[in-house]
Structure 1
């Protein structure tokens, strides 16, 4: 009933408000093309693309994919060696609203097919070399790819002809902040590695934080010799692209060529894994003057041991930054201003991140203690694709209902809150009821002047359950037969009784994943495969 003299109340009008959505990664190419059209964006050994060229080419890829039937949320896979075309495919797929699936070139044919099937990829971009690898399974592959395989086989090849037929104007596609951006498959030990899924909003937030931590700016020139299927390579590429800088892409890592490129092109920024730093410093053409243009280097992927970090700091007159993270996301950085007295630390969380340490009973460890690192973040992955079981297993929910991601890494904190990585939880050796961390032994052994690389694993032992064994790559010119015995004695004199090695084996190379981490599961196979061993030395192990 209406009160006399008063109008009936109508719907309440809400005051206007802005609902801005910031630019996402595919938008940045368009924006930089508007602001810096003639500035080089990416270059490989054969070609350079300006921002305007990259924008037009990625538009063409996007429009071509939409014409094939690719829609928002569909997967597009890339199996290709490093080149500028990889970048236009990457950003073109994003502009089309697709989920990018970068495939590791080191994965075998069966593994690639499993990934294509798991991701339900509609299109595969590949090179002739990779197409040939899949040739025996192409019928099976084609059945998994409803919109086909597009082969990049040179300047007049199928991919270029297809791309150049497309409209080069911006595609009429809207991408939501929380739409999936990528699925990157881990280098796990299961038959099908986990597919790590990020959404656009979290991915660009992560890159903004990484670019700030790595001190990127508009005038930067970055170099990326790591395969673009790797999250480490994406860190370099996208940090450069997010600020409108230039990224030099190289087909492979060669330390001598890297040094020449840095000097010739006045490279300012590089993100690498520790073994790359070591090989650069050991290269015959290395001299500090050649890398004088470098303003900041960032190390990630595996621990940068103190001795190597000192060498990098002494020879690169620039900011040396260490990063800790996973493919799921990055967590901490140690900036040079904080490094004094903390060279072994990986620093503190970047903005938007937090961590706790849990003991074996899932109880939070007090500050200064040791436990599994668990992370909360606004820019980490959202899930493992098609693996709710793995997502659930990696999740810890605390008493307040907050979700944390279990990293599988063991860490400790100091009294100032700086994080130190001890080892992977799964690589820990249980010997005589005591925990032995291989990284502790590795950190000691790489200090030996004749050791280039080392990986320590646990092997079965009738007395202790497990016992540590070191597998070593010697520096050039070392006498392998003598070195094994020398290292066994040298190490066992310096470690605790419980850490003493049963054996040292000398090999030519250590297996590593694209991020430079030593593959301990492969080392265990190497231990069994005596044919891979150059020399060995064994001794009694009285560790109790």
Structure 2
């Protein structure tokens, strides 16, 4: 017998209750703009109700092409509150990639910041036929609705739209400037569970004050956003990252949490070294590093300069996560820890046989935080699936690793040859597809090389048409004009042929041995 209703509220309801019970506590800070929880939630709900009144429906996909700021945060939270599916776009992607992603998602509306409006207007002819509403945070005309117009008569109540846990919440694209994009789907229930589990692992609480320094489209930012908001804390948004500004904000705002990529931490440590550690960083409770490996020397420097140490997170947007606690790092500087609570991990060989401790193989994972699948990509879903002896399906990571005798996990290599530059995923095949369009390029392989600035950077190993007079500098310039900002190659290197196995597959590991010894700025 059940007398009382006992449901598990989704994030829109949880956040709405924070607006009620934490009304006067600060929820968001960006520069001089400061919003209480009551103001933040009221604004989110007005946006949601305004979109509903303009014909955007629950479960519709809505593209978000915006720079960091309160408007972008409220756009994504407003879409969540009305049960729509946000599709946040990495602003560094090139125009072809942006159009490809929005078409793949089938967006019915676009929300853009004023600095992105001209770019979007130039691409209107290529936008999906489903597009029926364009919203800009500032300014309005016959084609655009402003935020001010959108919320003018909208109510502040949480929309009653019947959101289900299995409804899509967002789609985050991991690649797609050329060819088929890979949209990673997250659900309302999945994101809630993900935030709960991460909040425990990353030590969030109701007094957390979290500094966001990466684009809000990034899943790294979503980690920090949702865990902080779930706990009822405060978000501090930086419009861009600068190491000195980071330290000033931490000191002045008494920041407790942040999530960044290793190259950002490296810049912060360099600033601390130059300043002779003059900053007061005592407010920091926990910091997370993810996106690329945190090398042992840098990790130890973080512990030397920052009293809270660092929690290193290994994970995929698709839904596998491990973390290593600061207290566990001594003597395990290269480890990425153990699986997130409720998540299981196996190591399997090329024949899908489970490996014992200290044996390297592909990392596979399963748990409640795993995505339901890629959007419109049954081929990618099949490729990413591993089925165990009990018929349970696990997510293949494409990464090679092992666990030691105590169960601590170590990453050995990236099976998929993905390049992690500045914490962003860059896929060599996307760059190669562009470079093959150059008339002088007969063959090309893109690999990662060390970068003093970005951690890794793409370089291209090129086989040219023997009749071509094109130089490597010319090919580099031509390619970078057509690539997204983070895809741009640091160099093109001429060779007579590329090494291949008997099946014709390029042996990138051999190329890396020869060409990845030089570091680029």
Same fold (TM over 0.5): yes
Per the alignment, residue 199 of structure 2 pairs with: 211
C-alpha distance in 2, partners of 1:277/1:260?
14
TM-superposed CA distance for 1:170, in Å, is 2.5
1:187 maps to 2:175? yes
TM-superposed CA distance for 1:189, in Å, is 7.0
* 1:34–1:173 CA distance, 2 compared to 1 (3 A): same
* 1:529–1:268 CA distance, 2 compared to 1 (3 A): farther
TM-superposed CA distance for 1:405, in Å, is 0.6
Per the alignment, residue 261 of structure 1 pairs with: 249
Per the alignment, residue 242 of structure 1 pairs with: 230
Per the alignment, residue 487 of structure 1 pairs with: none
TM-superposed CA distance for 1:324, in Å, is 0.9
User: Residues 150-189 of structure 1 correspond to what in structure 2 (within 5 A)?
Assistant: 150-153=135-138, 158-187=146-175
8 Å CA contact 2:102, 2:128 repeated in 1:
no
Query: Which residue of the other structure, out of 103, 117, 121, is the alignment partner of 2:107?
Result: 121
**Is the partner of 2:87 in helix, strand or coil?**
strand
Per the alignment, residue 331 of structure 2 pairs with: 341
Per the alignment, residue 421 of structure 1 pairs with: 411
Query: Which residue of the other structure, out of 120, 134, 149, is the alignment partner of 2:120?
Result: 134
TM-score by length of 2: 0.79
C-alpha distance in 2, partners of 1:136/1:188?
20
Per the alignment, residue 473 of structure 1 pairs with: 452
TM-score by length of 1: 0.76
Unaligned runs of 5+ in 1: 1-14, 429-437, 443-454, 458-465, 476-506, 512-517, 531-538
C-alpha distance in 2, partners of 1:117/1:426?
26
TM-superposed CA distance for 1:528, in Å, is 3.4
**Is the partner of 1:346 in helix, strand or coil?**
strand
User: Residues 310-459 of structure 1 correspond to what in structure 2 (within 5 A)?
Assistant: 310-427=300-417
TM-superposed CA distance for 1:307, in Å, is 0.1
C-alpha distance in 1, partners of 2:24/2:372?
37
C-alpha distance in 1, partners of 2:222/2:514?
47
1:149 maps to 2:124? no
C-alpha distance in 2, partners of 1:175/1:467?
44
TM-superposed CA distance for 1:246, in Å, is 0.5
**Is the partner of 1:420 in helix, strand or coil?**
strand
Cα shift readout 1:111-130 (whole Å, capped 9, x = no counterpart): 11111111111111002221
Give the greater-gyration-radius structure (CA).
1
8 Å CA contact 2:172, 2:185 repeated in 1:
yes
8 Å CA contact 2:107, 2:128 repeated in 1:
no
Per the alignment, residue 220 of structure 1 pairs with: 208
TM-superposed CA distance for 1:173, in Å, is 1.6
* 1:529–1:237 CA distance, 2 compared to 1 (3 A): farther
Unaligned runs of 5+ in 2: 429-444, 455-475, 496-512, 516-521
C-alpha distance in 2, partners of 1:316/1:269?
12
8 Å CA contact 2:320, 2:365 repeated in 1:
no
Query: Which residue of the other structure, out of 54, 65, 76, is the alignment partner of 1:90?
Result: 76
* 1:345–1:411 CA distance, 2 compared to 1 (3 A): same
Per the alignment, residue 5 of structure 1 pairs with: none
Cα shift readout 1:13-42 (whole Å, capped 9, x = no counterpart): xx4466633121212221111111011101
Per the alignment, residue 527 of structure 1 pairs with: 492
Per the alignment, residue 261 of structure 2 pairs with: 273
* 1:470–1:37 CA distance, 2 compared to 1 (3 A): closer
TM-superposed CA distance for 1:426, in Å, is 2.6
1:230 maps to 2:215? no
8 Å CA contact 2:49, 2:155 repeated in 1:
yes
